[in-house]
Structure 1
Amino acid sequence: MRAETPVAAELSAVAPARRWARERLTEAGVEQDRLDMLVLLVSELVTNAVAHADPPVVLRVDVDHERTRVEVTDGAREVPVLKHPPPTALGGRGVMFVDRLASAWGTTPEEGAAVKAVWFELRHDDVPADLARFAR
Protein backbone atom coordinates (compact mmCIF):
# COMPACT_ATOMS: atom_id res chain seq x y z
CA MET A 1 0.00 0.00 0.00
CA ARG A 2 1.30 3.43 -0.94
CA ALA A 3 -0.39 6.72 -0.18
CA GLU A 4 0.53 10.38 0.09
CA THR A 5 -1.07 13.61 1.20
CA PRO A 6 -0.04 17.26 1.15
CA VAL A 7 0.53 18.85 4.56
CA ALA A 8 0.02 22.54 5.24
CA ALA A 9 3.22 24.23 6.39
CA GLU A 10 1.85 25.10 9.83
CA LEU A 11 1.93 23.39 13.20
CA SER A 12 -1.86 22.99 13.23
CA ALA A 13 -1.43 20.50 10.35
CA VAL A 14 0.43 17.95 12.50
CA ALA A 15 -2.66 16.42 14.15
CA PRO A 16 -4.56 15.93 10.86
CA ALA A 17 -1.42 14.39 9.30
CA ARG A 18 -1.10 12.03 12.25
CA ARG A 19 -4.77 10.98 11.91
CA TRP A 20 -4.35 10.48 8.15
CA ALA A 21 -1.28 8.28 8.74
CA ARG A 22 -3.06 6.22 11.42
CA GLU A 23 -5.97 5.58 9.02
CA ARG A 24 -3.71 4.55 6.13
CA LEU A 25 -1.54 2.32 8.33
CA THR A 26 -4.62 0.68 9.83
CA GLU A 27 -6.04 0.08 6.34
CA ALA A 28 -2.71 -1.51 5.38
CA GLY A 29 -3.01 -3.98 8.25
CA VAL A 30 -0.19 -2.68 10.45
CA GLU A 31 -0.34 -4.49 13.78
CA GLN A 32 -1.59 -2.49 16.75
CA ASP A 33 1.66 -2.91 18.70
CA ARG A 34 3.53 -1.09 15.90
CA LEU A 35 0.82 1.40 15.00
CA ASP A 36 1.27 3.79 17.93
CA MET A 37 5.04 3.90 17.51
CA LEU A 38 4.71 4.56 13.77
CA VAL A 39 2.23 7.36 14.38
CA LEU A 40 4.58 8.90 16.97
CA LEU A 41 7.43 8.86 14.46
CA VAL A 42 5.19 10.28 11.72
CA SER A 43 4.32 13.10 14.09
CA GLU A 44 8.00 13.84 14.70
CA LEU A 45 8.86 14.01 10.98
CA VAL A 46 5.85 16.15 10.12
CA THR A 47 6.47 18.49 13.06
CA ASN A 48 10.09 19.01 11.99
CA ALA A 49 9.03 19.69 8.40
CA VAL A 50 6.36 22.25 9.22
CA ALA A 51 8.40 23.93 11.96
CA HIS A 52 11.79 24.10 10.24
CA ALA A 53 11.33 23.59 6.52
CA ASP A 54 9.77 25.28 3.51
CA PRO A 55 6.71 24.17 1.56
CA PRO A 56 5.67 22.09 -0.18
CA VAL A 57 5.38 19.44 2.53
CA VAL A 58 4.12 15.99 1.53
CA LEU A 59 3.66 12.93 3.76
CA ARG A 60 4.03 9.48 2.18
CA VAL A 61 3.51 6.03 3.65
CA ASP A 62 4.50 2.78 1.99
CA VAL A 63 3.71 -0.56 3.62
CA ASP A 64 4.80 -3.89 2.18
CA HIS A 65 5.28 -7.37 3.64
CA GLU A 66 8.74 -6.54 5.04
CA ARG A 67 8.56 -2.99 6.37
CA THR A 68 6.74 0.31 6.72
CA ARG A 69 8.45 3.35 5.18
CA VAL A 70 7.40 6.92 5.90
CA GLU A 71 8.75 9.95 4.02
CA VAL A 72 8.15 13.63 4.48
CA THR A 73 9.33 15.84 1.64
CA ASP A 74 9.83 19.58 1.90
CA GLY A 75 11.45 22.50 0.15
CA ALA A 76 14.34 23.24 2.53
CA ARG A 77 17.95 22.26 1.96
CA GLU A 78 18.79 21.88 5.66
CA VAL A 79 18.76 18.30 6.86
CA PRO A 80 17.70 17.22 10.35
CA VAL A 81 20.45 16.83 12.91
CA LEU A 82 20.58 14.20 15.63
CA LYS A 83 20.83 16.04 18.95
CA HIS A 84 21.17 14.93 22.54
CA PRO A 85 19.53 17.75 24.48
CA PRO A 86 19.76 17.94 28.27
CA PRO A 87 16.72 16.74 30.23
CA THR A 88 15.73 20.35 30.91
CA ALA A 89 15.48 21.27 27.20
CA LEU A 90 11.95 21.81 25.92
CA GLY A 91 12.59 20.36 22.47
CA GLY A 92 15.16 18.88 20.14
CA ARG A 93 14.30 15.22 20.67
CA GLY A 94 12.35 14.39 17.51
CA VAL A 95 15.23 13.07 15.44
CA MET A 96 16.56 11.25 18.49
CA PHE A 97 13.23 9.36 18.78
CA VAL A 98 13.37 8.47 15.09
CA ASP A 99 17.00 7.37 15.40
CA ARG A 100 16.32 5.13 18.40
CA LEU A 101 12.97 3.63 17.40
CA ALA A 102 13.16 3.19 13.62
CA SER A 103 15.01 0.35 11.93
CA ALA A 104 16.67 2.93 9.64
CA TRP A 105 16.29 6.60 8.77
CA GLY A 106 17.93 9.25 6.63
CA THR A 107 17.48 11.91 4.01
CA THR A 108 17.46 11.74 0.23
CA PRO A 109 17.44 14.48 -2.38
CA GLU A 110 14.23 15.04 -4.33
CA GLU A 111 13.54 16.62 -7.69
CA GLY A 112 10.98 19.29 -8.50
CA ALA A 113 9.46 21.59 -5.89
CA ALA A 114 10.54 19.38 -2.98
CA VAL A 115 14.25 19.51 -2.20
CA LYS A 116 14.64 16.59 0.18
CA ALA A 117 12.84 13.67 1.77
CA VAL A 118 13.36 12.72 5.40
CA TRP A 119 12.40 9.10 5.86
CA PHE A 120 12.35 6.23 8.29
CA GLU A 121 11.64 2.55 8.01
CA LEU A 122 10.38 0.11 10.57
CA ARG A 123 10.91 -3.52 9.63
CA HIS A 124 7.98 -5.69 10.65
CA ASP A 125 10.31 -8.24 12.25
CA ASP A 126 12.45 -5.66 14.08
CA VAL A 127 12.13 -4.75 17.74
CA PRO A 128 13.95 -1.46 18.40
CA ALA A 129 16.69 -1.80 21.00
CA ASP A 130 15.07 0.76 23.31
CA LEU A 131 11.82 -1.25 23.29
CA ALA A 132 13.30 -4.76 23.44
CA ARG A 133 13.67 -4.63 27.21
CA PHE A 134 9.91 -4.01 27.56
CA ALA A 135 8.94 -6.85 25.21
CA ARG A 136 9.55 -9.55 27.82
Structure 2
Amino acid sequence: MTTIPTRLLLRRFAVDATHPVAVPTARRAAHAIATEWGVDGERLDALLLITSEAVTNAHLHAPGRVLVVLTWSPDDARLAVEVHDTGRRMGEGQASRFADDRATVGRGLALLVEHLTRGRWEVVPTVYGKRLRAELAAAAPPARPTGTSTVSPAAEPRGLFAAI
Protein backbone atom coordinates (compact mmCIF):
# COMPACT_ATOMS: atom_id res chain seq x y z
CA MET A 1 0.00 0.00 0.00
CA THR A 2 1.32 3.45 -0.92
CA THR A 3 1.34 6.02 1.84
CA ILE A 4 0.03 9.41 0.87
CA PRO A 5 2.32 12.14 2.19
CA THR A 6 0.73 14.65 4.54
CA ARG A 7 2.64 17.52 2.92
CA LEU A 8 3.34 17.87 -0.77
CA LEU A 9 4.94 20.98 -2.22
CA LEU A 10 4.32 21.63 -5.91
CA ARG A 11 5.72 24.30 -8.20
CA ARG A 12 5.43 24.57 -11.96
CA PHE A 13 6.78 26.77 -14.69
CA ALA A 14 6.71 26.87 -18.47
CA VAL A 15 9.45 27.44 -21.04
CA ASP A 16 9.31 27.95 -24.78
CA ALA A 17 11.26 24.98 -26.17
CA THR A 18 11.61 26.72 -29.54
CA HIS A 19 13.91 29.28 -27.95
CA PRO A 20 17.64 28.50 -27.71
CA VAL A 21 17.79 29.40 -24.01
CA ALA A 22 14.92 27.06 -22.99
CA VAL A 23 17.24 24.50 -21.40
CA PRO A 24 19.32 26.86 -19.23
CA THR A 25 16.15 28.76 -18.31
CA ALA A 26 14.46 25.55 -17.13
CA ARG A 27 17.60 24.46 -15.29
CA ARG A 28 17.86 27.81 -13.45
CA ALA A 29 14.16 27.75 -12.49
CA ALA A 30 14.39 24.14 -11.23
CA HIS A 31 17.54 25.03 -9.27
CA ALA A 32 15.87 28.03 -7.62
CA ILE A 33 12.80 26.03 -6.60
CA ALA A 34 14.70 22.98 -5.35
CA THR A 35 17.18 25.00 -3.32
CA GLU A 36 14.30 26.96 -1.80
CA TRP A 37 12.99 23.57 -0.60
CA GLY A 38 16.41 22.66 0.83
CA VAL A 39 17.36 20.13 -1.84
CA ASP A 40 21.10 20.02 -2.43
CA GLY A 41 24.03 17.80 -3.33
CA GLU A 42 23.64 14.80 -5.61
CA ARG A 43 19.83 14.96 -5.58
CA LEU A 44 19.91 18.54 -6.82
CA ASP A 45 22.45 17.59 -9.51
CA ALA A 46 20.28 14.64 -10.60
CA LEU A 47 17.16 16.82 -10.74
CA LEU A 48 18.94 19.39 -12.90
CA LEU A 49 20.36 16.75 -15.26
CA ILE A 50 16.95 15.13 -15.76
CA THR A 51 15.27 18.50 -16.29
CA SER A 52 17.95 19.56 -18.78
CA GLU A 53 17.79 16.33 -20.76
CA ALA A 54 13.98 16.27 -20.93
CA VAL A 55 13.72 19.91 -22.00
CA THR A 56 16.51 19.35 -24.55
CA ASN A 57 14.55 16.45 -26.04
CA ALA A 58 11.45 18.65 -26.22
CA HIS A 59 13.52 21.37 -27.93
CA LEU A 60 14.77 18.88 -30.53
CA HIS A 61 11.66 16.76 -31.08
CA ALA A 62 8.56 18.65 -29.86
CA PRO A 63 9.26 22.38 -30.04
CA GLY A 64 6.61 24.46 -28.36
CA ARG A 65 5.62 25.22 -24.81
CA VAL A 66 6.92 22.86 -22.16
CA LEU A 67 5.50 22.63 -18.66
CA VAL A 68 7.86 21.56 -15.87
CA VAL A 69 6.30 20.43 -12.58
CA LEU A 70 8.41 19.84 -9.47
CA THR A 71 7.02 18.11 -6.39
CA TRP A 72 8.67 17.63 -3.01
CA SER A 73 7.36 15.58 -0.14
CA PRO A 74 9.29 16.58 2.98
CA ASP A 75 7.64 13.74 4.95
CA ASP A 76 9.34 10.98 2.97
CA ALA A 77 11.93 13.10 1.09
CA ARG A 78 10.60 12.21 -2.36
CA LEU A 79 11.47 14.65 -5.12
CA ALA A 80 9.90 14.37 -8.57
CA VAL A 81 10.08 16.24 -11.84
CA GLU A 82 7.56 16.06 -14.66
CA VAL A 83 8.16 17.51 -18.09
CA HIS A 84 5.08 17.85 -20.30
CA ASP A 85 5.54 18.56 -23.99
CA THR A 86 3.38 18.54 -27.11
CA GLY A 87 5.24 15.74 -28.85
CA ARG A 88 3.26 12.64 -29.75
CA ARG A 89 6.24 10.38 -30.46
CA MET A 90 6.87 8.09 -27.51
CA GLY A 91 10.23 6.79 -28.70
CA GLU A 92 11.12 3.15 -28.24
CA GLY A 93 9.31 2.74 -24.93
CA GLN A 94 10.80 1.67 -21.63
CA ALA A 95 10.54 -2.06 -22.28
CA SER A 96 12.75 -1.96 -25.39
CA ARG A 97 14.87 1.12 -24.75
CA PHE A 98 18.11 -0.85 -24.57
CA ALA A 99 17.28 -3.32 -27.35
CA ASP A 100 19.61 -1.95 -30.03
CA ASP A 101 23.09 -1.52 -28.59
CA ARG A 102 24.36 -0.31 -32.00
CA ALA A 103 22.23 2.85 -31.94
CA THR A 104 24.28 6.05 -31.84
CA VAL A 105 21.44 8.39 -30.90
CA GLY A 106 18.20 8.28 -28.98
CA ARG A 107 19.24 6.61 -25.75
CA GLY A 108 20.60 9.53 -23.71
CA LEU A 109 17.41 10.30 -21.84
CA ALA A 110 16.65 6.65 -21.10
CA LEU A 111 20.16 5.82 -19.89
CA LEU A 112 20.51 8.95 -17.80
CA VAL A 113 17.08 8.89 -16.16
CA GLU A 114 17.16 5.12 -15.58
CA HIS A 115 20.45 5.46 -13.73
CA LEU A 116 19.58 8.56 -11.70
CA THR A 117 16.13 7.35 -10.63
CA ARG A 118 16.96 3.65 -10.20
CA GLY A 119 14.11 2.85 -12.58
CA ARG A 120 11.51 5.15 -10.99
CA TRP A 121 10.43 6.97 -14.14
CA GLU A 122 7.94 6.75 -16.97
CA VAL A 123 6.85 8.43 -20.17
CA VAL A 124 3.11 8.38 -20.83
CA PRO A 125 0.87 9.89 -23.50
CA THR A 126 -1.39 12.76 -22.47
CA VAL A 127 -4.17 14.68 -24.16
CA TYR A 128 -1.62 17.33 -25.12
CA GLY A 129 1.37 15.16 -26.05
CA LYS A 130 3.39 13.26 -23.46
CA ARG A 131 4.63 13.48 -19.90
CA LEU A 132 7.95 12.31 -18.51
CA ARG A 133 7.85 11.76 -14.75
CA ALA A 134 11.00 10.92 -12.80
CA GLU A 135 11.19 10.36 -9.06
CA LEU A 136 14.31 10.70 -6.96
CA ALA A 137 13.92 8.66 -3.80
CA ALA A 138 15.68 9.58 -0.57
CA ALA A 139 17.29 6.15 -0.33
CA ALA A 140 17.67 3.12 -2.54
CA PRO A 141 14.22 1.74 -3.32
CA PRO A 142 13.40 -1.79 -2.15
CA ALA A 143 14.06 -4.61 -4.60
CA ARG A 144 11.17 -5.19 -6.99
CA PRO A 145 10.42 -7.83 -9.57
CA THR A 146 11.64 -7.08 -13.10
CA GLY A 147 9.04 -5.47 -15.32
CA THR A 148 7.01 -3.80 -12.57
CA SER A 149 6.75 -0.09 -12.01
CA THR A 150 7.06 1.69 -8.68
CA VAL A 151 5.89 5.04 -10.01
CA SER A 152 2.18 5.61 -10.21
CA PRO A 153 1.07 8.21 -12.74
CA ALA A 154 0.17 11.56 -11.27
CA ALA A 155 -3.16 13.07 -12.19
CA GLU A 156 -2.77 15.33 -15.19
CA PRO A 157 -3.84 18.93 -14.62
CA ARG A 158 -6.82 19.92 -16.74
CA GLY A 159 -6.28 22.48 -19.44
CA LEU A 160 -2.55 22.05 -19.06
CA PHE A 161 -1.36 23.99 -22.07
CA ALA A 162 -4.45 26.14 -22.35
CA ALA A 163 -3.63 27.73 -18.99
CA ILE A 164 0.00 28.54 -19.81
Normalised by the size of structure 2, how large is the TM-score? Answer: 0.66
Determine the structure 2 residue equivalent to 1:117.
131
The worse-fitting range, judged by mean Cα deviation, of 56-65 and 17-26 is 56-65
Equivalent pair of 1:72/1:119 in contact (CA under 8 Å) = yes
Matched positions, count: 124
1:3 shift after superposition: 0.8
Q: Find out whether 1:35 has 2:24 as its counterpart.
A: no
Match of 1:77 among 88, 98, 122: 88
1 CA distance for matches of 2:14 and 2:40? 25
Question: Residues 44-100 of structure 1: CA distance to partner in whole angstroms, max 9, x if unpaired?
Answer: 11111121114231111111133111111111111144357669x577422210111
Q: CA RMSD in A?
A: 2.3
Equivalent pair of 2:17/2:59 in contact (CA under 8 Å) = yes
Secondary structure of the 1:17 match is helix
Determine the structure 2 residue equivalent to 1:106.
122
What amino acid is aligned across from residue 48 of structure 1 in structure 2? N
1:33 shift after superposition: 2.9
Equivalent pair of 1:105/1:119 in contact (CA under 8 Å) = yes
Normalised by the size of structure 1, how large is the TM-score? Answer: 0.78
Secondary structure of the 2:88 match is coil
Structure 1 unpaired stretches of 5+: 128-136
What amino acid is aligned across from residue 75 of structure 1 in structure 2? T
Structure in which a larger fraction of residues adopt helix: 1
| Structure ID, larger Rg | 2
What amino acid is aligned across from residue 69 of structure 1 in structure 2? A
